Amino acid sequence: MNQPQSVRIAALLVVALALPGCRTAHDRRPGMNSRPRDADRIRRVVCVYDQRPWMSLDQDGDRDPEGLRFRAFLDPGTGRGVLSEGTFHISMYTIKRLSGGKVERHLASDWIYPTSEVHTIAKPGMLGEGYFLHLYWASKETAGKEIELVVEFEDPWGAKTRSGTKRLRVPKYAA
C-alpha cells in the first residue's frame, strides 16, 4: 500500500469512528429521541395573572365569569421564557374555608393542552416568550368562590415542572 492511500484510509477511519459520537444543535430539539441537555430543561413555570383575568362567555349575558386567562412562561433557568414542546396540565380547585381555620380543596376542573395548541404571546417582552392560556369552566357554581390554580408543564421526555399555587376569588355579581 502506498503512503497516500494509507493516509486516506486512516482519515476515513477517523471520520467513521467520530460520526456516531457527534452531536449537533438539532439533536437537542424537542421531538427528537435524545433527551435535551440539562441546560435546556425547563426549571420554572411562571404564571402572570392580570388584575381582572375573568372572562364572561355565557349566552345568558350575565356578568358572572365562566373562565379566566393568564400568561405562562417556561424558564430554563435564564430568567426569560422560551417556547418548548410539551404539555400544560392545569388543575383548578375550589376552596372551602372550614371552622378552626381549616381549608378544604376540591378539584373543580382540569385541562390538558399541548403547547402546539396554545396561543403564544405575540410580542415577547421582559419575561421572554410565553403562552396565553384561556380556561373555561362548565359549572356556573364557580362564581363567587375562592379557587386555586396549579399549572404543570411536562416535556416530551416526561420531566415535570410546576408553577407556584395561585389563589383567586371569582367574582359573583348581583342579578
Write the CATH number for 97: 2.60.40
Residue 18 forms part of a structural domain = no
* pLDDT of res. 31: 46
* 67: containing domain: 36-169
CA–CA distance, 164 with 57 (Å, rounded to integer): 27
Domain count for the chain, please give it: 1
- pLDDT tens digits, one per residue of 106-151: 999 999 999 999 999 988 889 999 999 999 987 888 999 999 999 9
The grid coordinates listed for 2 are 502506498
Residue 66 forms part of a structural domain = yes
* pLDDT of res. 73: 98
When pLDDT is cut at 50, 70 and 90, the band that residue 59 belongs to is low
Mean pLDDT of 9-18: 42
**β strands within the chain, DSSP E:** 44-48, 54-55, 67-75, 87-97, 103-114, 119-120, 131-136, 146-154, 160-162, 166-169
* pLDDT of res. 175: 62
Residue 57 forms part of a structural domain = yes
Residue 17, pLDDT above cutoff 50: no
Residue 16 forms part of a structural domain = no
CA–CA distance, 104 with 110 (Å, rounded to integer): 17
Residue 13 forms part of a structural domain = no
